[in-house]
Amino acid sequence: MRSEKRVNFGKRKAVVFVALFAVLVSLSIGTASAATLCVHPGESIQDAIDAASSSDTIEVYSGTYYENVDVTKQLVLRRVNTDKGKPIVDASGNGSAIILSADGIVLEGFEVTNSTGRLGRGAGIRIMSENNIVRDINATNSDYGIILYFSSNNTLKDNLMSGNGYNFGVWGANDNDIDTSNLVDGKPIYYLVGASDMVIDSSSNAGTVYCVDCDSITVTGLTLTKNSDGVFFLNTSNSRIENNQISSNLFGIGLYKSTNNTVIDNKAINNGEGIKLYKSTNNTVIDNKASNINGTGIGIWLSMNNSITGNNASNNSVGIKLLFSSNNTLTGNIANYNKFNGILIAESSDNTITGNTVSYNTYYGIYPVYPSSRKTYNPYTGETNFSNNEHNGIDLSNSGNNKIYLNNFMNNLENVHPEISGNFWNSTEPLTYQYNNTTFTSYMGNFWSDYKGPDADDNGLGDTSYVIDSDEDRHPLMSRFENYSDICAKVWH
């Protein structure tokens, strides 16, 4: 009996030992999954990331770390509080300092600098994932300070960006928590999500303004410089952008998937692009100056039923561009002294272009590009089929049926690109006008500075057509459209 008890006792001891071992292993595993790794000057932050496991914490001591850091795991990466200041990640002009590639990262308490890259795309912090927290970062002397690239649901707080080519930017992302504790050159970022009935004016001292899913917002009286966007609307309606000074940004003003907004009396100068509408409808862009732009002054892409009126889009690469857009009206704009085209109409139809002055452009005054194919591109959904057999690899939509009349085309290298057909170069109905104190009624075309035809009946219209490849202006004006009195109000208002 005694032996049997010892055996039973022995079994109970074995069971207890196994249970205790399992607990210890579990605790060991739990501890390992939340380890803290320390990095000192002379060591590599990237080596610590590579050695860490998901959910670990990496603490970095003060010092300068000359490297590019790619956080590829869900980690906490933070400074060790010392009196020597924040640890500095110096990219040495070789790309981005810190990239967040995994979801759920916490990054806090660093200085990032000297992040430059190919085509100016280096960033102090490049966020390429979701659900991250980034706080207490100083980003300086880089192409971009902090940029979110197709990245949503991130939280940014207490970050300072200054002295960068572009301090802050959001590309292809929307629903982030970015409050006014984030500063660009000392000015707060206004990043509004779902807001309504707000005015952001000079009292806000805003440095850049983003409105996502907003309604009835007014952005007025601001000076906005050196960010990816001066003002950016996404899914925003019934709002106004007015009387702002917007310069040295990558994009001055952007409306994306936005409707019924007014962009009025802004100076969007010296930006990469001036004013851009993308998949946006029923907006009014009026009396703005979009000049000295490296790219396009005013760009309308995949957009319908917008009114572009009284703007100055001069001294750019391209003055005004319509791309895959229809039923827009361009009236009374000036597009002079552009490096390439005054007005570029590419794969767009049923637009009305009237009362514009297009002069002294290096190449073409107006360039209505005719499509090489019309297969599967859908401008409303953005769906495209690609083929190796087409010149551009994309099947594109029609560029005909645009109505282009009562414009001045003067002293361009070539007024109209010749390989084009399918547009109307006259009014589609007779118009009544006064010319040399006499009233006439007729179809009316455009003024061409190189037109040499006669006007035997002195009605202000040429007796012979102005030939535009397979198209023609059958009623060319003998003088600038401003000299045909009463016609402007009747046609444009």
> If we measure between CA atoms, which residue out of 492, 363, 370 comes closest to residue 423?
370
Neighbours of 346 (CB within 10 A): 18
pLDDT at site 360:
84
Phi, psi of 445 (to 5 degrees): -110, -135
The domain containing residue 46 runs over which residues?
Answer: 30-185
Residue-wise pLDDT for 400-426, tens only, equals 788 999 999 888 878 887 555 678 899
Taken in order 472, 474, 477, 482, the sign of the CA dihedral is negative
pLDDT at site 363:
66
Residue 179, domain CATH: 2.160.20.10
Tokens of 483: 């000299």
Contact present, 184 and 208 (Cβ < 8 Å) = yes
In a domain, 305, yes or no: no
Contact present, 175 and 197 (Cβ < 8 Å) = no
Instruction: Give percent of the chain above pLDDT 90.
Output: 72
pLDDT at site 490:
56
| Rg of the chain taking only CA atoms, in angstroms | 31
| Residue/partner pairs of 121-125 with CB below 8 Å, 24 or more apart | 122/91, 122/93, 122/95, 122/96, 123/96, 123/97, 123/99, 123/147, 124/91, 124/96, 124/97, 124/98, 124/161, 124/164, 125/96, 125/97, 125/98, 125/99, 125/100
Q: Provide DSSP, 123-137.
A: EEEEE-SSS-EEES-
In a domain, 78, yes or no: yes
Q: Provide DSSP, 236-260.
A: -BS-EEES-EEESSSEEEEEES-BS
Residue-wise pLDDT for 174-206, tens only, equals 789 999 999 999 999 999 999 999 999 999 999
Q: Is 465 left (phi over 0), alpha (psi -120 to 50) or beta?
A: beta
Give CA–CA dist 282/277, Å, rounded.
Answer: 11
In a domain, 463, yes or no: no
Residue in this structure with the two tokens 């509408």, named with its chain if needed: 277
Strand 329-331 relative to strand 352-354, pairing: parallel
pLDDT at site 488:
57
| DSSP H helix total and E strand total for the chain | 3, 47
Taken in order 443, 449, 452, 456, the sign of the CA dihedral is positive
pLDDT at site 491:
59
pLDDT at site 364:
61
In a domain, 398, yes or no: no
Give CA–CA dist 139/124, Å, rounded.
Answer: 6
Neighbours of 24 (CB within 10 A): 10
Residues of the chain with pLDDT under 70: 1-33, 119, 173, 363-399, 418-421, 488-493
In a domain, 146, yes or no: yes
Residues in the chain: 493
Contact present, 484 and 347 (Cβ < 8 Å) = no
> If we measure between CA atoms, which residue out of 136, 234, 137 comes closest to residue 176?
234
In a domain, 94, yes or no: yes
pLDDT at site 141:
97
Number of domains in the chain: 1
pLDDT at site 383:
31
pLDDT at site 80:
96
